[in-house]
Amino acid sequence: MTRIFFLIVLLAFIPQANAKDLEYTSLAQIPVQHEGRIKPLDTFAKTMLYTFSGKSSNAEEWLAETLFDPATALQRPVFRILRPQAFDLPPRKSRIYSFAEIAPVLQIRGETIQTLLEKDEKDWSEDQRELMRLHDVYILYTQLLRSFSFLLPLNIELPASLAKEWKITEEKPFTVSEYRRFAQKLNARVKAITKNKGTDLEKYSEEERAIVSFAMNMNILESAGQNNVLFRIIPPFKGNEWQSPWAISEMGGGSPEAAIYLATWKAMAFAYIQRDAVSWNEAGKQALAQSKNFAPPSKLKLEYAYNNFHPLTVTMALYALALAGFAAFALRNCRNSKCLATLALAGGCALHAVSITARIYILDRPPVGTLYESILFVAFMCALIGLVFETIKRDGNGLLIGALSGLLLLFTAIGFGGDDTMKMLVAVLNTNFWLSTHVLCITMGYGWCLITALLAHIWLIQTARGKDTDNLVRPIKTLALLSLLFTAFGTLLGGIWADQSWGRFWGWDPKENGALLIVLWLIWALHGAISGHLKRMWFIASMAALSVIVALAWFGVNLLSTGLHSYGFITGVAGALFAFCVTELVLIGGLVWKAKR
């Protein structure tokens, strides 16, 4: 922790730059290896900034400042702290603090952090959990700050005797790279000083103290780069692993191709420091042109377009328009509004499908591998089923259930979108066959279940209002059977996958129990309806309650943080999930009570 603190002080001496007039399009499209895959710097910047601040706007500008102007980045408020009072930080409405503000906080609590690292995470208090989260992002940000510190000019005063001996002038910027040519001689000189005068600084002359202090600072910068592996922008001209600029620097420049590419980045850094927009834009375009040989440009361009077009946001707007059109049709029986709603729902489904297809192409895997992706896919399934239902029935109910479910699920996805970096999956999940069968099958089952529940809600509402609902009973039963088919088959395939991955077909894992709960609920309700033990009202009510069952199986079991399905663990949504389940049960109960009266 102390070394990092000294590093911060050293980085603060790097000249500041004003970069308001610089253009970042080329920088945003340059490839970087992060989280196991190649992605554009645009995605990397948004991911990093969201990790620190919970926001991702203007991420490219922030990244450029962090890489090339760490002195300014140290003062930039970027760390979102949920409990600032626990760290004696000044109260602030935004709860956003700078690196320079949190550095002393962590330095003071260095022993506490070390103690917590030796304890089980489950035993941490909320304040301790926030402290460790802050510590983790602090280390991450430190790596970004020093990504190019070896080639940035340092305004560290060079002892006069060394400047004369090394022929260093004020006109020529002094960098860590420049220092390496003289490091061996400097270390020998420091050893000679300490050998003659010991470790008592009082015995040193002013020049000797300056030399020893300078050597210590430069050694700190050198050692700080040894484990700097976050910013992997140098492609593997030999092998598979990309390298960070520091790693290439430690290798003496690496291959000739790597040295040329790194020289382009150096030109970008100096252009940024000097606020030379022409040189900056030219160097950025040159780096982008050179990088096209390192990674498939089509995927990088598609991902960059996906990040900036925000197709899912447009999809939400189309679903909202479809919902508004249905409302106008229901209130005024306006046929034009119904046509508009149908077109908006169809357009939303089409754009939703394009978004999912783009993700498949970018990631080279099926569309569902994370909790966030499952929400996107189920939202698409619900909207598509609603559109098909409307095409068949033409009574407006398909518009309502399709637009409403698609909109609500995509809105829910926003809360989980911060973790969406299109990252590679853990080994047990990264099997395309089972992702294409079990996972898609079970998530399609979720979609059928939610559509069934929504149609059951419509039946209860209309029955409570005294309207004829006989035309909805058969579709509800059909949808319930389809829900059972997909969830049961998906659960069976999951058991086969578990047998191949973990050596057992069934282990009463919470996620497995959640899937089984849906299947058993559907079997119970359908069997009760067929045998006559469940009257129509109660059967429909049980189908409406499928929304609660699915929510518990989909999200609830992930709150337990136990079992082999660790890739789905979530925190912080227990309150919202509880509120949803209670609201749904009260609503269903109230509708049944009113309908029976």
Residue that the structure tokens 């790596």 belong to: 143
Residue 397: C-alpha distances to residues 271, 369, 400, 588 (Å): 60, 31, 5, 19
**Would you state the torsion angle of the CA atoms of residues 554, 558, 559, 562, taken in this order, to the nearest 10 degrees?**
150
pLDDT tens figures, 321-340: 999 999 999 888 888 899 99
Neighbour count for residue 596 (Cβ, 10 Å)? 9
Confidence of residue 6 (pLDDT cuts 50, 70, 90): very low
pLDDT tens figures, 550-567: 999 988 887 776 655 555
pLDDT tens figures, 338-368: 999 999 999 999 999 999 999 999 988 888 8
More confident residue, 208 or 299: 299
Residue that the structure tokens 């598609």 belong to: 302
Of 384, 379, 378, 367, nearest in space to 420 by CA: 367
What is the Cα–Cα distance from 253 to 363, expressed in whole angstroms?
31
pLDDT tens figures, 34-54: 888 899 999 999 999 999 998
Residue 34, strand partner residues: 37
Please report the pLDDT score of residue 162 as a whole number: 76
What is the Cα–Cα distance from 321 to 308, expressed in whole angstroms?
22
What is the Cα–Cα distance from 119 to 295, expressed in whole angstroms?
42
pLDDT tens figures, 494-522: 888 877 777 778 878 888 888 899 999 99
Please report the pLDDT score of residue 171 as a whole number: 61
pLDDT for residue 317 is more than 70: yes
> What tokens does 362 get?
């970018």
> What tokens does 425 get?
């999956």
Please report the pLDDT score of residue 210 as a whole number: 78
Count helices and strands in the chain by DSSP H and E runs: 27, 4
pLDDT for residue 461 is more than 60: yes
What is the Cα–Cα distance from 149 to 269, expressed in whole angstroms?
10
**What φ, ψ does residue 34 adopt, rounded to 5°?**
-150, 135
Which amino acid is it at 316? Answer: M
pLDDT for residue 401 is more than 90: yes
List the single range of 76-80, 238-242, 256-260, 333-337 with lowest mean pLDDT. Answer: 238-242
Instruction: Give kind and range of the element (H or E) at residue 39.
Output: strand 37-40
Q: Which residues contact 299 (CB under 8 A, 6 or more apart)?
A: 38, 361, 362
Q: Which residues contact 36 (CB under 8 A, 6 or more apart)?
A: 423, 424
List the single range of 2-6, 92-96, 467-471 with lowest mean pLDDT. Answer: 2-6
Please report the pLDDT score of residue 430 as a whole number: 53
What is the Cα–Cα distance from 178 to 152, expressed in whole angstroms?
10
More confident residue, 396 or 318: 318
Q: Yes or no: is domain 425-597 CATH 1.25.10? A: no
More confident residue, 115 or 225: 115
Q: C-alpha angle with apex 484: 478 to 488, nearest 5 degrees?
A: 155
Long-range contacts at 5-9 (CB < 8 A, ≥ 24 apart)? 5/103, 5/107, 6/217, 6/220, 7/142, 7/146, 7/220, 7/221, 7/224, 8/74, 8/99, 8/100, 8/103, 8/142, 8/145
User: What DSSP string describes 492-542?
Assistant: HHHHHHHHHHHS-S----HHHHHHHHHHHHHHHHHHHHHHTSS-HHHHHHH
**Cβ burial, residue 527 (10 Å; 0-12/13-18/19+):** exposed
Q: Yes or no: say if 235 and 294 are a contact pair by the CB < 8 Å rule.
A: yes
